[in-house]
Amino acid sequence: MRTQEEQAARLVWQYGEPIHAVVFFAPETRAATDGLGIKGGWMSYFGCRAAPLGSVAAAVVTSIFYGFHPRKVERAIPDAWAYAEPRQLIDARLSAMDAALRRLLGEAIDGPDVRRAAALATAAVHSADFSGRPLGAANAALADPGAPHLQLWQALGAMREHRGDGHVTCLVANQVDPCESLVMQAATGRSERDSLRTNRGWSDEEWRTAVMRLRERGWLDDDELPTPSGTKARDAIEAATDRLAAPLVATLGARGVELVEAMRPLAERIMAAGEVPRRNNMGLPWPSQ
C-alpha cells in the first residue's frame, strides 16, 4: 500500500510528464536544434536532454539515461557538442518550448493554472534534496527562464529526472540491467515491444538474450509475459521509485494536491492534442495506473 506522499509523487509524474515530454515530440524542438547544425532527431534528443550536464562523454550519458545501448548514444555524443555547446542547446529547447506550449495551450498559457503550477513546481525543486540525482540536480541548477510556462516546464524537467535517477537506483539495486528493464516495460504493456527495442538501440539477439535471463529468473513465461513473480518484482520496483520520489513532492505538504489539480487540465489538453503518445517509450502512465 502506497503512502499518501507516494501516491502524490505518482500523480505529479502522471500529470507532469505530458507537459515536460512535449520537448521530445514537438516539431519545434527539431527545428530549433536543426538551426544549430545538430544532425537528426536522436542527436537532438541526446543533446537537449544531456545539455544540463555539460559536455559529458557518451559513457556518462549511457550510464545516467540507462536504457539506451551504448552504440545508440555514441552515434550522437560527443559529436553533438561539436555542433552546439550545451548552453546553446539549453537556450534552443527553451525557445522551442515557448513556441510549442503556446501552440498547444493557447489562451491557457496565461491562465491561473499555469501560474499556480509553475510557482508550486518551482518551490518544490528549490526545496528538494537532489543528492545522488545527477540529471535531476543538473536540471534543478538551471537559471530561472522567467515566463511561468517555461518555469513550469523546466521545474517539471528537474522533477522527472529526479524521479528517473531514483528509478535507475531501484533497477540497479534489483540487478535489472538496461535491456532487461525495457523487456519488462514491454512485457507489462507500458510500451510497444519492437519500437521500444529499436528506439533504444538493442538488437533482436540482445533482446532475446535479455528475455532468456528474465525467464531463468522466473519473471517471464514462454510468451514473454510477466509471471506472478515478475509482476510482483516490477510492482515492487515501481513502488520503490514512488518512495524515492516522494520526498520532493512532500516539500509542498498539502499543496502537492494543488499542484496536481493545476497541472491536470494542462496535461489533458496536451494529451488530447495527440502531441505526446498515450503509449510511448517512456512508459507514460496515462490516463491512470
Residues 36-47 have pLDDT tens digits of 999 999 999 999
pLDDT at 114 > cutoff 50: yes
Residues of the chain with pLDDT > 70, as a percent, come to 96
Q: What is the mean pLDDT of the chain?
A: 95
Cell numbers for 241: 521509485
Average pLDDT over residues 23-35: 97
Backbone angles phi, psi at 220, to 5 degrees: -125, 150
pLDDT at 85 > cutoff 70: yes
pLDDT at 286: 58
DSSP result, 76-143: TTTHHHHHS-HHHHHHHHHHHHHHHHHHHHGGGGGSHHHHHHHHHHHHHHHHS--TT-HHHHHHHTSP
pLDDT at 288: 45
Q: How many CA atoms lie within 13 A of 129 on its CB side?
A: 6
> What counts of helices (H) and strands (E) characterise the chain?
15, 0
pLDDT at 189: 87
* The model's pTM: 0.94
Beta bridge partners of 104: none
Average pLDDT over residues 180-189: 94
pLDDT at 71: 97
Q: What's the start-to-end Cα distance of the chain, in Å?
A: 14
pLDDT band of residue 277 (cuts 50, 70, 90) is confident
pLDDT at 160: 97
pLDDT band of residue 289 (cuts 50, 70, 90) is very low
pLDDT at 2: 80
Greater model confidence, 190 or 194: 194
